């Protein structure tokens, strides 16, 4: 027997020991409110300020551009709804493969009078150049295009998209939650190209759940979703979650320092994995597009993805049948639908995502377990077919 193998790092990641060590004092003894004037409060404020500096440094931003939130979903909502609240309803465009926490608020704004356009992607999951040009010709006011997709791992050419958006006079935001720690991020360079805001999250980089940030150009006017004491430059009221913010700061610092090494290691694991997948006849989605090195999204023809995930779980391997936030939905992935993948193949989609602690031995054991599981499932399918 061997220990269970965690291969679902795009959903969430285990807490790094260094992050845990930094958080513990704020969970066990230090209790100050960062808005209090006494020593306890000053300690908490200093801890939050340091974390803000660490997160900013990880993406080459200014600390004053970092707005802490409770999660990536809140940060995405803050950008879309906060910007819309400062403007008359206009034209909004988001890519068809956005996370639901961008798609859903965009559709809410549509019901409030905004004209919503979903930008098409090609068969690899990249923004379709012709449709993007058509969208920009309509002179949108606001755009949101994710940097790296949580399911396929596809990386968009954000600088190029941003330059075109700026030329069209549009404000551009990017959900960079999956990109942080897996590829270099430079908000200064992206901002110069035309990106006004980025969303980041701690629990994707071996930090705690409950801490995230909207990194936003200070020249952009937003209205807060949560009004109150005026925390976070007045954009996110509420007593700061000091332990989680402290953990986010340390996790961001570590992720930035390790990004090149992690990309190389994960890329080697994915190469071994996908060689084994191809030998089993798997279709690997977006394999011809630039992808995060830790992500592989595949399907085995004739095998249901949910069934396969359950069988692999019982064999000791944690993988996903799609995005964790939408795994309760019975329909196939909206990302694969947007890419034009046939529904019967999309229903078989399974995602593996590597992270800290994974190694080549685990990949070999996974391929062996997958081969055995697929053999069993295909045998059952053949038996069922014979009964019909």
| Residues recognised as catalytic | 325
**Six-digit token pair at 22?**
């930094």
Q: Say whether 242 sits in a helix, a strand or coil.
A: helix
- Asked if residue 238 lies in contact with residue 231, where contact means CB atoms within 8 angstroms, the answer is yes
Distance, C-alpha 371 to centroid of its chain: 29
- Asked if residue 98 lies in contact with residue 124, where contact means CB atoms within 8 angstroms, the answer is no
Q: Say whether 320 sits in a helix, a strand or coil.
A: strand
β pairing state of 283-284 and 295-299 = antiparallel
Q: Which strands form 295-299's sheet, in the order they lie side by side?
A: 283-284, 295-299, 350-353
Q: Say whether 82 sits in a helix, a strand or coil.
A: helix
Distance, C-alpha 355 to centroid of its chain: 14
Q: How far apart are the first and last CA of the chain?
A: 38
**Six-digit token pair at 279?**
């030998």
User: Alpha helix locations (H) across the chain?
Assistant: 17-28, 39-58, 72-84, 100-111, 129-137, 158-167, 187-193, 242-279, 305-314, 334-338, 343-346, 360-387
Calpha distance 148→142 (Å, rounded): 19
Beta bridge partners of 66: 215
CA dihedral 26, 45, 240, 21 (to 10 degrees): -30
Calpha distance 353→298 (Å, rounded): 11
| Site of tokens 């009221």 | 237
Q: How far is CA 382 from CA 302, 350, 387, in A?
A: 11, 22, 9
β pairing state of 317-318 and 5-6 = parallel
């Amino acid at each position: 027997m061997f220990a269970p193998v965690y291969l679902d790092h795009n959903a969430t990641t285990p807490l790094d020991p260094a992050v845990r060590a930094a958080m513990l004092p704020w969970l066990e003894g230090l209790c100050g409110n960062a808005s209090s004037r006494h020593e306890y409060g000053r300690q908490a404020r200093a801890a939050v300020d340091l974390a803000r500096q660490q997160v900013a440094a990880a993406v080459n931003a200014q600390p004053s551009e970092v707005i802490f939130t409770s999660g990536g979903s809140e940060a995405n909502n803050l950008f879309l709804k906060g910007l819309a609240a400062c403007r008359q309803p206009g034209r909004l465009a988001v890519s068809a493969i956005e996370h639901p926490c961008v798609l859903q608020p965009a559709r809410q704004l549509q019901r409030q009078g905004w004209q919503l356009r979903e930008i098409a992607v090609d068969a690899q999951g990249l923004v379709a150049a012709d449709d993007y040009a058509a969208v920009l010709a309509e002179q949108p006011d606001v755009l949101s295009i994710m940097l790296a997709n949580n399911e396929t791992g596809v990386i968009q050419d954000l600088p190029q998209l941003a330059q075109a958006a700026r030329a069209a006079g549009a404000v551009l935001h990017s959900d960079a939650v999956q990109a942080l720690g897996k590829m270099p991020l430079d908000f200064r360079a992206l901002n110069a190209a035309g990106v006004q805001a980025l969303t980041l999250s701690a629990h994707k980089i071996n930090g705690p759940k409950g801490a995230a940030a909207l990194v936003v150009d200070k020249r952009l006017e937003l209205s807060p979703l949560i009004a109150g004491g005026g925390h976070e430059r007045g954009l996110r009221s509420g007593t700061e979650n000091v332990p989680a913010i402290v953990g986010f700061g340390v996790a961001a610092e570590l992720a930035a320092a390790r990004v090149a090494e992690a990309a190389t290691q994960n890329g080697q694991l994915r190469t071994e994995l996908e060689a084994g997948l191809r030998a089993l006849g798997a279709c690997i989605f977006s394999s011809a597009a630039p992808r995060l090195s830790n992500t592989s999204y595949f399907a085995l023809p004739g095998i249901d993805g949910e069934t396969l995930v359950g069988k692999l779980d019982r064999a000791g391997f944690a993988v996903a049948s799609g995005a964790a936030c939408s795994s309760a939905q019975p329909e196939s992935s909206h990302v694969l639908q947007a890419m034009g993948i046939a529904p019967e193949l999309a229903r078989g989609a399974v995602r593996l995502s590597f992270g800290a602690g994974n190694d080549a031995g685990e990949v070999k054991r996974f391929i062996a377990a997958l081969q055995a599981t697929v053999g069993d499932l295909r045998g059952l399918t053949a038996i069922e077919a014979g009964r019909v």
